Amino acid sequence: MHPADIWDVSGVLRLCFFPAGLPWNLNLAFPCHLDFAGSRAGAYNPGTPVRTAGDQRRSAAIPAARAPRTPRARRPEAALARPVIKWAGGKQQLAAELVARAPRAIETYYEPFIGGGAMFFALLADSALAPKRAVLNDLNRDLITVYEVVRDDVDALVARLEALQGPYLAAGADERSTQFYAERGRQPEGAVDLAARFIFLNKTCFNGLYRVNRQGIFNVPHGKYRTPRILDEPNLRAASAALAGVRLTHVDFESALAAPKQGDFVYLDPPFEPLSATSSFTGYTEGSFSRTEQRRLKLAADDLTDRGVHVMLSNSAQDYIRGLYSADRGPFAEGRYRIDSTPARRAINSRGDKRGPVDELVVLNYAPEVERRELPSN
Ligand SMILES: C[S@@+](CC[C@H](N)C(=O)[O-])C[C@H]1O[C@@H](n2cnc3c(N)ncnc32)[C@H](O)[C@@H]1O
């Protein structure tokens, strides 16, 4: 099935993120479906959301034929784009390690667990690696709407974020809190409003965490950043250029992996295998990403390998994951897959002494063409 054919399949919303340095273990201290504080509507008036032509276009069903199929020429600023949101398990710190192992001459780049998109943006920054086409996916529908709006309606998004940022930065602590809870407590109207609210909450909530309750309602309390960059206009415009012509879908990874063919490159960054029983965090979506899901992903990677698609997967350096990808016979010492490990910092433990570097596994089904520097292998 071509991804365009699955363009409108709904994803499930259940999502969480936290940046590096989170001081405690989320699963213990932050039960998944706990509602933190009731919505506190105050004097802040969020204003009338801008409904743009893009919103109207999007509200009509998007037929598969309208999904972008060919790359538009990328504007040069695309190479400067960085992630527009913070995301749990975001790979910004690892991006250089991952890009160093990426194949050259990518036809179509597929990233079915896009999250904050650190790898996608890092690939575009390297003109030798920038793929001709890209298909980005995440099960989180709101997240994909953010990317659609950044791609298609960046002017309206900038205007809406400006309207949110101005009063927030000018306000004192109490008014900021009132504005935050008013935004948190209201329903977005249209895609631009949804994207602006998503980014506003992302930049102003506690510790950059994002989590929704069973009803899909964002429930993280207000954060304490002094001057959060709610609107980063140059980066939003660069990201808009980077996303031009990119196909965006919000389906389960298995559907998103039906289309890749020889010459394409797939980067898989699933919710990670917990480092310990108490450090687990796989709460981006309603169903947790269990070992059954990790096995389902391994079978999908095998299928891609059989189809001649270049595959890279990152995950925590757990014996279970290592075992999963070393079991088969194949051209590498480990078997069918080459398994590198590289130091990474995971921000999930409450205890600072347990938050030191931990290894990340980088699993490849190909030998990197250019070993630009010595890469540790296993
Ligand atoms: C580790 S995060 C990806 C982080 C990303 N590489 C970055 O740099 O920000 C995993 C992502 O997988 C998504 N996800 C979870 N289950 C999924 C599924 N079954 N299919 C597709 N995406 C899924 C989550 O919503 C989350 O955004």
Lowest model confidence (mean pLDDT) among 8-17, 90-99, 220-229 = 8-17
Alpha carbon distance, N-terminus to C-terminus of the chain: 36
Higher pLDDT, 10 or 306: 306
Contacts of 336 (CB under 8 A, 6+ apart): 302, 305, 325, 328, 329, 330, 365
For residue 197, tell me if it sits in a domain: yes
For residue 265, tell me if it sits in a domain: yes
Contacts of 260 (CB under 8 A, 6+ apart): 108, 110, 266, 304, 307, 309
- Pocket lining: 271 vs ligand 1, CB cutoff 6 Å: yes
Instruction: Tell me which residue range forms the domain holding 160.
Output: 3-38+76-221+232-364
- Pocket lining: 89 vs ligand 1, CB cutoff 6 Å: yes
Cα(15) to ligand 1 centroid in Å equals 9
pLDDT tops 70 at residue 99: yes
- The CATH number of the domain where 299 resides is what? 3.40.50.150
Cα(129) to ligand 1 centroid in Å equals 23
Q: Which atom of ligand 1 is nearest to the CA of 111?
A: 6
User: Which of 344, 341, 333 lies closest to 376, judged by CA?
Assistant: 341
Lowest model confidence (mean pLDDT) among 67-71, 90-94, 161-165 = 67-71
pLDDT tops 90 at residue 364: yes
pLDDT tops 80 at residue 316: yes
Average pLDDT over residues 272-290: 56
pLDDT in tens, 1-13: 333 322 222 222 3
Residue 357 class from Cβ within 10 Å (0-12 exposed, 13-18 middle, 19+ buried)?
exposed
For residue 62, tell me if it sits in a domain: no
331: which 2 tokens? Answer: 């051209």
pLDDT tops 90 at residue 64: no
Residue among 284, 289, 294, 299 whose CB has most ligand 1 atoms within 8 A, to mutate: 284
Percentage of the chain modeled with pLDDT above 70 = 71
| Mean pLDDT of the chain, nearest integer | 78
- Give DSSP secondary structure letters for 62-73: --GGGS--SPPP
For residue 52, tell me if it sits in a domain: no
Instruction: Report how far residue 56's alpha carbon sits from residue 48's, in angstroms, rounded to the nearest whole number.
Output: 16
Instruction: Report how far residue 302's alpha carbon sits from residue 325's, in angstroms, rounded to the nearest whole number.
Output: 10
- Pocket lining: 281 vs ligand 1, CB cutoff 6 Å: no
Going by alpha carbons, the residue nearest to atom 17 of ligand 1 is 139
Cα(40) to ligand 1 centroid in Å equals 31
55: which 2 tokens? Answer: 């919103």
Cα(301) to ligand 1 centroid in Å equals 16
- Number of domains the chain contains: 1
For residue 374, tell me if it sits in a domain: no
Cα(239) to ligand 1 centroid in Å equals 19
pLDDT in tens, 148-188: 999 999 999 999 999 999 999 999 999 999 999 999 999 99
- Give DSSP secondary structure letters for 87-106: -TT--TTTHHHHHHTSPSS-
pLDDT tops 70 at residue 126: yes
pLDDT of residue 165: 98
Going by alpha carbons, the residue nearest to atom 8 of ligand 1 is 90
Going by alpha carbons, the residue nearest to atom 18 of ligand 1 is 252
For residue 47, tell me if it sits in a domain: no
Q: Which atom of ligand 1 is nearest to the CA of 254?
A: 20
Q: Which atom of ligand 1 is nearest to the CA of 87?
A: 9
Q: Beta strand 310-316 with 357-364: parallel, antiparallel or unpaired? A: antiparallel
Judge whether 311 and 262 are in contact, CB under 8 Å.
no
pLDDT tops 60 at residue 358: yes
- Give DSSP secondary structure letters for 189-253: -HHHHHHHHHHHHHHHBGGG---B-TTS-B-PPB---SS--S--HHHHHHHHHHHTT-EEE-S-H
Lowest model confidence (mean pLDDT) among 49-53, 78-82, 111-115 = 49-53
Average pLDDT over residues 68-80: 71
- Pocket lining: 250 vs ligand 1, CB cutoff 6 Å: no
Cα(270) to ligand 1 centroid in Å equals 5
For residue 59, tell me if it sits in a domain: no
For residue 145, tell me if it sits in a domain: yes
- Pocket lining: 269 vs ligand 1, CB cutoff 6 Å: yes
